[in-house]
């Protein structure tokens, strides 16, 4: 296993070490991972190079955010009127979710927050009301059907005969 170096004074910090720490920050590593990669103990990194690490991480996030933003909005060439970068729907959704607080919700949203028992009671009442209306409609149809059958004239028998009856 590689030896871990502890930095005792600022003079031990070289430009090469600063470059490595910046690269670790831009790559999205945490301090423990940067410590392993650079060979410097984590406490020394936090004490002497935290500002470099955090600045590099912030710059990387800014660069990626700018790219996502540019993809989401697209870029229109003002001279030709054609898209240089077409707007990307996935980037738009991602940006709105992360920065705009946008959420995809598909559940039932009630007007006011109530306890789950209240919501269940309201749902039960709605279902019972619908079934009652359905039952009322069926009763009306059933009451209407015999009256309609009595009012209709008798239909001739099917079979295509000449209408003459056969004596029994």
Domain boundaries, the chain: 10-99, 107-149
What does the alpha-carbon distance between residue 36 and residue 157 come to, in Å, rounded to a whole number? 97
Average pLDDT of the segment spanning 93-120: 73
**Mean of per-residue pLDDT scores for the chain:** 80
Per-residue pLDDT band for 30 (boundaries 50, 70, 90) equals very high
Please report the pLDDT score of residue 102 as a whole number: 79
Whether the pLDDT of residue 156 is over 70: the answer is no
Q: To which residue do tokens 């990194």 refer? A: 45
Average pLDDT over residues 84-93: 85
Report which of 17, 18, 42 is spatially closest to residue 31, judged by C-alpha positions.
42
Q: Is the pLDDT of residue 106 over 70?
A: no
């Amino acid at each position: 296993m590689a030896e871990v170096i502890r930095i005792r004074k600022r003079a031990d910090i070289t430009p090469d070490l600063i470059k490595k720490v910046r690269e670790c920050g831009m790559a999205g590593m945490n301090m423990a991972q940067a410590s392993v990669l650079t060979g410097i103990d984590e406490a020394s990194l936090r004490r002497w190079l935290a500002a470099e690490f955090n600045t590099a991480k912030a710059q990387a996030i800014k660069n990626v955010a700018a790219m996502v933003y540019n993809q989401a909005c697209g870029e229109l060439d003002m001279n030709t009127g054609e898209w240089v970068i077409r707007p990307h729907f996935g980037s738009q959704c991602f940006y709105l979710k992360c920065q705009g607080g946008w959420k995809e919700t598909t559940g039932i949203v009630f007007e006011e927050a109530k306890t789950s028992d209240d919501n269940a009671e309201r749902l039960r009442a709605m279902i019972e009301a619908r079934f009652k209306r359905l039952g009322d409609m069926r009763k009306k149809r059933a009451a209407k059907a015999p009256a309609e059958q009595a009012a209709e004239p008798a239909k001739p028998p099917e079979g295509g005969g000449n209408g003459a009856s056969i004596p029994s």
